[in-house]
């Protein structure tokens, strides 16, 4: 990605200017977490780490950006100088991409001088929220369609060209097999898939001709059979399958993109089988998501593959996560806010996960506490050492697959799932009480 | 934007390769339209033209992109050569940005050699669908809050950094006053707004200190009063307002971001008024959209401004539009597909709009037909002449405002609105019948 560091909200810079002026450049810790999971989400799949680190590494304000900021007549020369020389200094902590997570636990934390950590707020929150949203959605679709080929077809309807990249990436981590998006294929080295559009058929004098010309050019073709009449389309595909046999080629599949997908798939399977084409796969597409795929498969729709676009790429049933990027520690002191329903938990954390009697819960404590089990929130990037532990997209996918395999079914239900629990250590609970008392006292002194 | 032309679905290139091989390089016309408007949308606000034209103008495959395509072992040397030398040749037709539109009518049309027009499918559909989605959402929020200041706060939760740019742009066209997003401010020259975050307050020893330091640095400040206790926060803001009076400064407003916004705004107004601060504005934020703002304002919430993020920037109640990019004409001949519920209408169109007895309808015909009224689908870009008529974002906004002012209220209702009608000319209806007969005959000949 070719991001501008100016992808920042105005208030982040106005706050940072005061910090710089006041000498508030000590280390701060901000963390990203999900406040509450939406209805119908028993868990989330954490994603977005590698692109977030890329953003952090490329933090730089260019000359024309500084000139723009100057033109706003809000920023002072000392702060524009500060921005001109800015680069990331500090540490990033993170869970491993592809981890099954829940509300409240820190996914990602930044430890850096306060102005720097503040300036990164909106961009980091953006990237991690969106990829986590989509990896979660993808995992739900994977959950209801074991063994099926799942391809991201979302580019055309997602929220911008860049969104197409994130959707391909996050859905691959969350259990998809590949994408139609070539930019994502190139940048991430993930498999790309494609069939043909109705416009292709319409450009030829008839459907058979269109199919034949495609078959001449490619191996493993998938023919789109619903431009005019689906039954006739399948018959035409069979005609072409017979013809190409002589050339040593075979028809890999047909795609149906309209009509009653259950009935059409059943009819297609019958026609293909009758013609001895039992190996020809059926791919379905058109407005699909985990709800409609679960219905199709419960009714034994003979589908081998699904192309899923809009409802995956916009996470259509719930297009956002209630995430936050919050200051939890400043110069070694834990901080919290007490806003109604938006309370925060102080300090850089330590994170563990336990499974007891088929139920999962996370335990979070204050960093440095000694707890059983493996630390899940690891230092992954450091401005001096560089990348310490950023998994590749394939590693993240593998991590997800192992975790998803082990995830109890009660959490995987696509409606009314169980929710993963979260507990705080007694030390951390004690700190929260202490800081709240301090706030009360501080207030009384105002 | 720094887009890669490789933001394309694999099938667009596999189709294009066959087109090139078969010499199908004659002019094709593809059009973008909305198949059906979602429930709760009586109209849509067309946006995305200028970025779409930017994408078209920058169509180029770079060396490393060609190398990637070669590595897939799908594409032949003749086609990779074709792509290496590709640039847009042809014409773009469009409605004016900011126009109130509906289903079925062409918003944007590409007339270009078939492979070129095909390759642009996903990217153009992406940009225009998303900006139209967001401009429409913004207009609904504007519709329920006349006279209020509306600011896009979406960057942190929208679908990628680029999405933040489109949201700022499209919401400005659709009636918003500005954005918090500095990148959008710089690129588009639109007003930027900001207040402060809870983290800012937490970095100081107490709220009053945080407020004072902000007031020292800036004019026209808006103080966030809900970090701890809202009533106390307002009192602290008033204390600071009194202090800065001596320095000739005044408090512009307070922002409330949590709790029961109606009750908190009412209480805040009372406290401020009692202190003689009748001019201090109240800005509300936190999970707002047209539904919650309508409720707040019906109950006379004394709000002057709204910061609206997530639900604007993801169009949360309906995060996509059912748009299509369809081949309608090839080498002068009209084409159509007859897929169930996805039928298309042939030919490059001519578009008119009429208002009769408070009802609006669009009339579409075959390009070249003589019809009363002004042509709305105009040639806006041409690879030889360059840009012919691409409005600035301010012009597009003005166009929207005039159209929205004139739009009958029945269409503006945010629930169960009336829908704008669409009629086809008798000539176009005749053409559809004729082409369908031809398809039937062609089929019988297979």
ipTM: 0.96
Q: What percent of chain B has pLDDT over 70?
A: 99
The 10s digit of each residue's pLDDT in B378-421 is 999 999 999 998 999 999 999 999 999 999 999 999 999 999 99
Share the mean pLDDT of chain B.
Answer: 96
| Token pair 């089990």 in the structure block, residue | A373
Residue in B98, B52, B105 with CA at minimum distance from that of residue B328: B105
| Structure tokens, B286 | 């936190």
Q: Is A226 close to B443, i.e. CB distance below 8 A?
A: no
In the CATH scheme, what is the code of domain B10-134+318-445? Answer: 3.20.140.10
Helix runs in A58-100, H state only: 63-71, 77-84
Of B11, B164, B335, the CB nearest to A195: B11
Q: Is A160 close to B166, i.e. CB distance below 8 A?
A: yes
How many angstroms separate the CA atoms of A413 and A408, rounded? 10
Q: Is B202 close to A165, i.e. CB distance below 8 A?
A: no
How many angstroms separate the CA atoms of A344 and A347, rounded? 10
Q: What is the pTM of this model?
A: 0.97
pLDDT at residue number A443:
57
3-state DSSP call for residue B316? coil
Which of A124, A339, A341 to mutate: most B Cβ within 10 Å?
Answer: A339
Residues in Cβ contact with B172 at an 8 Å cutoff, skipping those fewer than 6 apart: B138, B152, B178, B179, B188, B190, B393, B397
How many angstroms separate the CA atoms of A406 and A227, rounded? 42
- Res. A296: pLDDT tops 90: yes
Share the mean pLDDT of chain A.
Answer: 96
User: Are B10-134+318-445 and B195-285 equal in CATH topology?
Assistant: no
Of B114, B159, B442, the CB nearest to A160: B159
First to last CA, chain B: 48
Domain B195-285, what architecture? Alpha-Beta Barrel (3.20)
The 10s digit of each residue's pLDDT in B75-109 is 999 999 999 999 999 999 999 999 999 999 999 99
For A205, other C-beta atoms within 10 Å of its C-beta total: 9
Q: Is A163 close to B165, i.e. CB distance below 8 A?
A: no
Q: Is B310 close to A316, i.e. CB distance below 8 A?
A: no
- Contacts of A267-272 with CB under 8 Å at 24 or more apart are A267/A230, A267/A231, A267/A234, A268/A225, A268/A230, A268/A234, A268/A302, A269/A302, A271/A231, A271/A234, A271/A235, A271/A238, A272/A234, A272/A238
Q: Is B163 close to A164, i.e. CB distance below 8 A?
A: no
How many angstroms separate the CA atoms of B379 and B376, rounded? 10
Beta strand extents in B156-280 (DSSP E only): 178-179, 221-224, 251-256
Residues in Cβ contact with A409 at an 8 Å cutoff, skipping those fewer than 6 apart: none
- Res. B284: pLDDT tops 60: yes
All structural domains of chain A with their residue ranges: 10-134+318-445, 195-285
Read off the pLDDT band of B446 (50, 70, 90).
very low
Rounded to the nearest angstrom, the minimum Cα separation between A182 and chain B is 6
Q: How far is CA B415 from CA A62, B171, B403, B409, in A?
A: 46, 20, 20, 12
Read off the pLDDT band of B443 (50, 70, 90).
low
DSSP classification of residue A156 = G
Residue in B139, B257, B245, B240 with CA at minimum distance from that of residue B195: B257
Q: What percent of chain A has pLDDT over 90?
A: 94
Residue in A88, A119, A124, A84 with CA at minimum distance from that of residue A106: A124
Helix runs in A206-337, H state only: 207-217, 230-245, 261-274, 290-298, 310-313
Helix runs in B41-108, H state only: 49-57, 63-71, 77-84
How many angstroms separate the CA atoms of A391 and A396, rounded? 6
- Res. A444: pLDDT tops 70: no
pLDDT at residue number B355:
93
Rounded to the nearest angstrom, the minimum Cα separation between B215 and chain A is 10
Mean pLDDT of B421-427: 97
Phi, psi of A200 (to 5 degrees): -60, -45
pLDDT at residue number A446:
43
**Helix (H), strand (E) at residue B359:** strand B359-366
**Cα dihedral B259/B263/B266/B267 (nearest 10):** -70
A54-63, A244-253, B199-208, B334-343: lowest mean pLDDT where? B334-343
Q: How far is CA A116 from CA A112, A113, A440, in A?
A: 6, 6, 29
Mean pLDDT of A114-125: 98
Q: A-chain residues within 8 Å CB-CB of B160?
A: 126-127, 130, 159-160, 162-163, 165-166
Of B10, B257, B259, the CB nearest to A192: B10
Rounded to the nearest angstrom, the minimum Cα separation between B221 and chain A is 11
Which of B30, B125, B156 to mutate: most A Cβ within 10 Å?
Answer: B156
| Token pair 């901080």 in the structure block, residue | A335
**Cα dihedral B433/B438/B440/B446 (nearest 10):** -170
Strand partners, A362: A353, A422
Q: A-chain residues within 8 Å CB-CB of B17?
A: 217
Q: What percent of chain B has pLDDT over 90?
A: 94
How many angstroms separate the CA atoms of B315 and A408, rounded? 33
How many A/B residue pairs have CB atoms within 8 Å? Answer: 358
| Token pair 């204050």 in the structure block, residue | A366
- Do residues A113 and A132 touch, judged by C-beta distance below 8 A? no
**Do β-strands A386-387 and A421-424 pair in parallel, antiparallel, or remain unpaired?**
unpaired
pLDDT at residue number B439:
84
Mean pLDDT of B155-178: 98
Query: In terms of CA atoms, which chain B residue is nearest residue A124?
Result: B156
Q: Is B9 close to A227, i.e. CB distance below 8 A?
A: no
Mean pLDDT of A43-48: 98
């Amino acid at each position: 990605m070719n991001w501008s560091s100016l992808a920042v909200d105005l208030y982040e810079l106005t706050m940072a200017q005061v910090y710089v002026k006041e000498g508030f450049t000590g280390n701060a810790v901000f963390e990203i977490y999900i406040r509450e999971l939406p209805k119908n989400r028993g868990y989330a799949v954490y994603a977005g780490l590698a692109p977030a680190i890329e953003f952090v590494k490329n933090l730089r304000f260019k000359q024309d950006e500084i000139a723009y900021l100057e033109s706003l007549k809000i920023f002072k020369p000392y702060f524009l100088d500060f921005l001109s020389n800015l680069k990331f200094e500090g540490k990033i902590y993170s869970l491993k991409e592809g981890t099954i997570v829940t509300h409240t636990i820190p996914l990602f934390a930044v430890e850096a001088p306060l102005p720097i950590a503040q300036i990164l707020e909106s961009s980091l929150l953006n990237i991690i929220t969106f990829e986590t949203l989509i990896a979660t959605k993808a995992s739900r679709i994977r959950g209801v369609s074991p063994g099926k080929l799942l391809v991201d077809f979302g580019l055309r309807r997602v929220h911008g060209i860049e969104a197409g990249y994130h959707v391909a990436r996050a859905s691959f981590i969350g259990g998809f097999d590949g994408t139609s998006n070539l930019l994502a294929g190139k940048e991430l080295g993930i498999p790309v898939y494609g069939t043909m559009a109705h416009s292709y058929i319409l450009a030829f004098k008839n459907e058979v001709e269109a199919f034949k010309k495609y078959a001449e050019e490619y191996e493993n073709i998938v023919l789109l059979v619903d431009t005019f009449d689906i039954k006739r389309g399948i018959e035409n595909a069979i005609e072409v399958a017979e013809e190409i046999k002589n050339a040593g080629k075979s028809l890999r599949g047909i795609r149906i993109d309209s009509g009653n997908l259950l009935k059409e798939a059943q009819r297609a399977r019958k026609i293909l089988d009758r013609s001895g084409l039992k190996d020809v796969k059926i791919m379905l597409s058109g407005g699909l998501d985990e709800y409609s795929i679960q219905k199709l498969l419960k009714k034994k729709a003979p589908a081998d593959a699904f192309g899923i676009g809009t409802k995956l790429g916009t996470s259509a049933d719930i297009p956002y996560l209630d995430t936050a990027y919050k200051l939890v520690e400043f110069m070694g002191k834990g901080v919290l806010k007490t806003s109604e329903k938006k309370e925060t938990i102080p300090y850089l954390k330590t994170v563990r996960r336990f499974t007891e009697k088929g139920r999962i819960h996370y335990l979070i404590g204050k960093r440095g506490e000694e707890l059983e089990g493996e630390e899940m929130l690891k230092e992954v990037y450091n401005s001096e050492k560089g990348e310490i532990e950023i998994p590749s997209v394939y590693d993240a996918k593998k991590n997800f697959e192992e975790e998803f395999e082990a995830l109890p079914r009660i959490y995987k239900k696509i409606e009314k799932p169980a929710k993963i629990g979260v507990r705080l250590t007694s030390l951390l609970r004690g700190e929260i009480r202490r800081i709240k008392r301090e706030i009360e006292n501080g207030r009384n002194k105002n």
